[in-house]
Amino acid sequence: MNCEVCQLKELEVGHLEFEIREVLRCILHTILFHRALGLVRPKDVDLELFEITYVQCGDLEIEKKIDEKIEQFISWVEKHPNKKSQICLSFYEVKNKQAFLFTHKIERLYWEQWYINLNVSQLPRTHSGKSHRSKVVVDPGAMIIESSMEESSARRAALEASLRDVLFQIIKFVNEKKDHVPPIPNREGVVSYPYEITIPSSSDSAFGMDVFKRMLQTGHPTMLS
Amino acid sequence: MEQIITEFFAKSLQIILESRSPYMSSRNYSGEQAVSSPSSSSSSSSSVRPRDKWFNLALRECPAALDNIDLWRQSNLDPMVVDVILVQRPVDFDPVSFSPKRNSVRNLSLKERYPMFVNSDQEEFGCEEKSEKIIERWIVQYESRMSRDTCHGSSRRMSNSTLYKKTILLLRSLYVTVRLFPAYKLYHDLNSSSQIRPFTLTHRVSSFVEPFTRQEEREMQKFVFTPVDTSCGRLCLSVLYHSSVSDISSEPSTPLSPQVITDYVGSPLADPLKRFPSVPVPGSASHGSPSFSPFVRRHSWSFDLNRASQPFTSFSPSPTHSEPHATNSNPSSRRFPPSSLPPHPPETSSMHKKDPNFDEYFPSPFSASPSPSASPSPPIRIPGSHLSNALLRSESAPVGIPTAKLANSPAFKQNLPPSPPLKSSKSSTSRSDKSTGVTHSGTPNEKLRQCSGLKLSSNNSPRVSFSRSSSRSFPDDFDESDFACAFDVEVEDITDPGSRPESFEQNVPLCDPLEPGGGSYATRKSADAAVGALVLMLRKAPPLRQDFSKSVANSSGVPRVETWGDSNTVLDSNQISEGLVPVQHVASSSVMASGLVTSKTTADALEELQGYRDLKNFLLSQGSKSHI
């Protein structure tokens, strides 16, 4: 099977914990809802930031895992501000590899990868308390404050539109590419396919290593059954 | 496979209607038999409640979907068209709801503001004017291939599990997509908001519909889900939707709570005895009821009503004031009908009707300018009754009292001259008190304003503020207040809307003899009472002072002070309260007054003021010792 990769549109997110969390939750849950093909009781969640309602599987395990990863990501962003980052949600199949490069290793066959591209930027003027504003010149004056508020709302509006685009992007991808999805395993639970969420690691180079490792783990097409 | 397709129709209908039909739907779950899913993908481990677990999407029962699906259970070859319709009228609304029917016309904002009046009209109007608009059209269709051979041939290739998996995926994306279209927002608002909305959503499920016109199609956008190929055909799902329904839902609906009227003083109709001083209050004119300063709203006047009988003697000063004033002021004369005039209806206390109000309450001396004493001059005793009448008529004592005072004034005037010295001292005191309050004059329509200014000015100095604040103290010392009223009457008489400063000036001398009290005997008595009232007012000076000081500061002040001085001997608290309101007007009018004053120089006025102040102090000391 090929590994289908979907690069989602880049989102300009402000350096606001709440904003990052909301956006990531929305995207991750939406993707997982399309991929957790076990019996689900869908749960509608209204975003607080925007007028967007997304759907969760209603599974606590998934929710917990997603929140954990988001918190890790936020800590990473704190250490690496003003950077473009990627979160990868991968679905794989577990194959017991008997012989190959990594013998006696449980091989993961990734059949789908979603890349969530975020550009976490420092907000202009005085906004979040977390941002490092050493370079921001706080100009006293109502006009400046007003313009910053306008900028903020414009930025939010742009983010909402982008988020909608991303959600539709997910929907289209799910619709167009169905053949690569493995058969639904006959197992209990909501989660049909194992998945993992990868956040950027401490060093940039390591990220590349992760990708390389994944490529190796994917295995040779001939090895696939 | 057939079953999968049939259930696909049912499920897609349920998903769509569940998120488009408010008030009905999955909220009202009533247990449904569990439908066993195909074995390949069934995982009915959940044993909580029987739900439709088809496609691994456990949704609650949707009666709307159940009602409509029968046709497609029989034959899944017909397309299923689900129209989501926006109906812009309160279909399910309460007849007594205040929400106006919001038509496509959308010119009901006015009616929204006055729901009480238009509710009944609106209802009928709305029923006729409902507008329906299809905002979404979902089309679920199974396109079967014509060739049966192909069908049989390919059926092997596509296993049911694969088909099921794909339909599951399709329905999952449908579930998510349905919540991203604009119509969902309307549904969400309808379901979640407690406000009554002027629109609702309905649906229509059919297998054949009229296609949209070209223009309609142009307005709509299309979203097509990737068809799921089956062995014999393909399942297609698409939607035409309006991307701009937000303008409908964003219109604010009528709030359930009525609007709060700020500065509500009370309808004049509610309390006929209540009189709202027709003082022009900048900015407050917009309110339906005359809104005045809190001073006005205090019910000191109601207390005055109770004491209507007493103030007889206190009105004596007024005649003295009124007479010269009346002679001098022509415009004012028109405004003051005879004291025996019936009470002006409270409704007329609007600002623009100040003149008539004034006329009512400031009779005769002004109206009969040539002979102020004559016209308003019933005997002193009568003025008392007039006073009570005036008091009864008006909530604001200052307004009512002047009537009686005016009535008294003629008689009083006669009495006044005999005791100029004493009176002058007292009156000068009060005059000075009032003089400070007399900041405005000259404008015909601003008798009340003048009084207000009077009050304000009185607040400027301790003695003045005393008179103004006496409204609060009114209930405590009615005796004094009587006289204060008398003084007020004089003041008002003098501060005739049309009166010019000259008239005030002339009133000044009147102030001297204008001791509280009517006749000679009354004069003495009223003098004491007036002093007491004056003292009281001064003691209880409210922060009007500050207001007044502003207004006084604005105005040139001195001449006006002087002109008002005599009339300001004892300021009625109500007058003060009235005066509190139009501070700005006072300031402006005082400026005008000052402009009009030409006869006296500033220096003269200052000297006079000083004299009055001394007199006031003297009176105060006397008052504190004497019985009040």
Specify the pLDDT at position B471: 43
DSSP code, position B279: -
Between B120 and A178, the more confident residue is A178
CA distances from B532 to A89, B15, B624 (A): 89, 84, 8
Specify the pLDDT at position A218: 58
Considering only the beta carbons, identify the residue of B44, B168, B228 that sits closest to A37: B168
The residue behind tokens 């103290």 is: B473
What is the number of CB-based contacts under 8 A between chain A and chain B? 90
Chain A residue numbers with beta carbons less than 8 Å from the beta carbon of B175 are 33, 42, 55
Specify the pLDDT at position B189: 84
Q: What confidence tens digit (pLDDT) does each residue in B501-533 have?
A: 444 444 444 444 444 444 455 555 667 777 887
Enumerate chain A positions whose Cβ falls within 8 A of a Cβ in B: 30, 33-34, 37-42, 44, 46, 51-55, 164, 167-168, 170-171, 174-176, 178, 181, 183-184, 186-189
Specify the pLDDT at position B627: 61
Between B48 and B595, the more confident residue is B595
Angle at B212 between CA B208 and CA B215, to 5 degrees: 175
Q: Which amino acid is residue B7, in one-letter code?
A: E
Considering only the beta carbons, identify the residue of A40, A175, A186 that sits closest to B170: A175
Lowest mean pLDDT among A77-91, A112-126, B464-478: B464-478
pLDDT band at B11 (very low <50, low <70, confident <90, very high): confident
Residue by residue, DSSP assigns B122-168 as HHHHHHHT--EEEEEEEEEEEEE-S-HHHHHHHHTTS-HHHHHHHHH
Specify the pLDDT at position A71: 92
Section A58-71 average pLDDT: 91
Q: Which of B611, B574, B573, B605 is nearest to B429 (CA)?
A: B611
Tell whether the model's pLDDT for residue A170 goes beyond 90.
Answer: yes
Specify the pLDDT at position A116: 92
- On whether the CB atoms of residues B494 and B395 are closer than 8 A, the answer is no
DSSP code, position B45: T
Q: Phi, psi at residue B224, to the nearest 5°? A: -120, 130
C-alpha torsion angle, residues B560, B564, B570, B571 (rounded to 10): -70
pLDDT band at B66 (very low <50, low <70, confident <90, very high): confident
Residue by residue, DSSP assigns B337-394 as --TTPPPPPGGGGSGGGHHHHHHHHS-TTTTT-S-TTTTT---SHHHHHHHHHHHHH-
Closest chain A CA to residue B170: A175
pLDDT band at B558 (very low <50, low <70, confident <90, very high): very low
Specify the pLDDT at position B3: 81
Nearest-CA distance from A15 to chain B in Å? 26
Q: What is the Cα–Cα distance from B306 to B245, expressed in whole angstroms?
A: 64
Specify the pLDDT at position B173: 92
Residue by residue, DSSP assigns B450-494 as HHHHHHHHHHHSHHHHHHHHHHHHTTT-HHHHHHHHHHHHHHHHH
The residue behind tokens 């006084």 is: B552
Q: Which of A81, A104, A113, A115 is nearest to A13 (CA)?
A: A81
Q: What is the Cα–Cα distance from B401 to B245, expressed in whole angstroms?
A: 63
Question: Per the CB < 8 Å rule, is B169 touching A181?
Answer: yes
Question: Per the CB < 8 Å rule, is B188 touching A189?
Answer: no
Specify the pLDDT at position A32: 92
Tell whether the model's pLDDT for residue B548 goes beyond 50.
Answer: no
Q: In this structure, how many other beta carbons lie within 10 angstroms of the beta carbon of residue B307?
A: 20
- List the helix and strand counts (H, then E) for chain A: 4, 7
Please state the pTM of the whole predicted model: 0.49
Q: What is the Cα–Cα distance from B390 to B336, expressed in whole angstroms?
A: 13
Section A60-83 average pLDDT: 89
Between B339 and A56, the more confident residue is A56
Q: Which residues of B535-560 are buried (b: 16+ CB within 10 A; e: fewer)?
A: bbbbbbbbebbebbbbbbebbbbbbb
Question: Per the CB < 8 Å rule, is A54 touching B169?
Answer: no
Q: What is the Cα–Cα distance from B417 to B323, expressed in whole angstroms?
A: 12
- On whether the CB atoms of residues A40 and A57 are closer than 8 A, the answer is yes
pLDDT band at A179 (very low <50, low <70, confident <90, very high): confident
Contacts with A, B 32-51, CB within 8 Å: 40-46, 51
Section B278-305 average pLDDT: 45
Share of chain B above pLDDT 90, in %: 4
SS3 B42: coil
Tell whether the model's pLDDT for residue B82 goes beyond 70.
Answer: yes
- On whether the CB atoms of residues B315 and B409 are closer than 8 A, the answer is yes
Q: In this structure, how many other beta carbons lie within 10 angstroms of the beta carbon of residue A220?
A: 9
Average pLDDT, chain B: 58
pLDDT band at B206 (very low <50, low <70, confident <90, very high): confident
Tell whether the model's pLDDT for residue B153 goes beyond 70.
Answer: no
Closest chain A CA to residue B174: A171
Q: Phi, psi at residue B231, to the nearest 5°? A: -70, -30
> Based on C-alpha coordinates, what's the Rg of chain B?
41
Closest chain A CA to residue B187: A53
Chain B residue numbers with beta carbons less than 8 Å from the beta carbon of A167 are 176, 180
Specify the pLDDT at position B63: 73
Tell whether the model's pLDDT for residue B86 goes beyond 90.
Answer: no
Handedness of CA B542, B546, B550, B556 (dihedral sign): positive
pLDDT band at B132 (very low <50, low <70, confident <90, very high): confident
Q: What is the Cα–Cα distance from B496 to B506, expressed in whole angstroms?
A: 13
Q: What is the Cα–Cα distance from A55 to B239, expressed in whole angstroms?
A: 20
Question: How far out from the chain centre does Cα B627 lie?
Answer: 46
Q: Which of B567, B573, B432 is nearest to B487 (CA)?
A: B567
Give kind and range of the element (H or E) at residue B228.
strand B220-229
Q: Which two tokens stand for residue A187?
A: 């197992």
What is the spatial order of strands in the sheet that B200-206 belongs to? B200-206, B80-87, B132-144, B233-242, B220-229
Section B552-566 average pLDDT: 44
Chain A residue numbers with beta carbons less than 8 Å from the beta carbon of B41 are 37, 184, 186
Specify the pLDDT at position A166: 93
Chain A residue numbers with beta carbons less than 8 Å from the beta carbon of B170 are 175
Specify the pLDDT at position B232: 81
Tell whether the model's pLDDT for residue B361 goes beyond 70.
Answer: no
Specify the pLDDT at position A163: 92
Give kind and range of the element (H or E) at residue B202.
strand B200-206
The answer, for B172 touching chain A at a CB cutoff of 8 Å, is yes
Interface pTM, i.e. ipTM: 0.81
Lowest mean pLDDT among A145-154, B1-10, B515-524, B553-562: B553-562
Average pLDDT, chain A: 80
pLDDT band at A31 (very low <50, low <70, confident <90, very high): very high
> Based on C-alpha coordinates, what's the Rg of chain A?
20
Share of chain B above pLDDT 70, in %: 32
What are chain B's domains? 1-22+52-90+130-142+158-244 (3.30.900.10)
Q: Which two tokens stand for residue B452?
A: 């207000």
Category of B442 on φ-ψ map: left (φ > 0), alpha (ψ -120 to 50) or beta? left
Q: What is the Cα–Cα distance from A44 to A54, expressed in whole angstroms?
A: 6
Q: Which of B239, B13, B272, B24 is nearest to B138 (CA)?
A: B239
Specify the pLDDT at position B526: 66
Specify the pLDDT at position A80: 84
Angle at A216 between CA A210 and CA A219, to 5 degrees: 140
Tell whether the model's pLDDT for residue B392 goes beyond 80.
Answer: no
Tell whether the model's pLDDT for residue B587 goes beyond 90.
Answer: no
Specify the pLDDT at position A191: 83
Question: Per the CB < 8 Å rule, is B173 touching A167?
Answer: no
Specify the pLDDT at position A105: 67
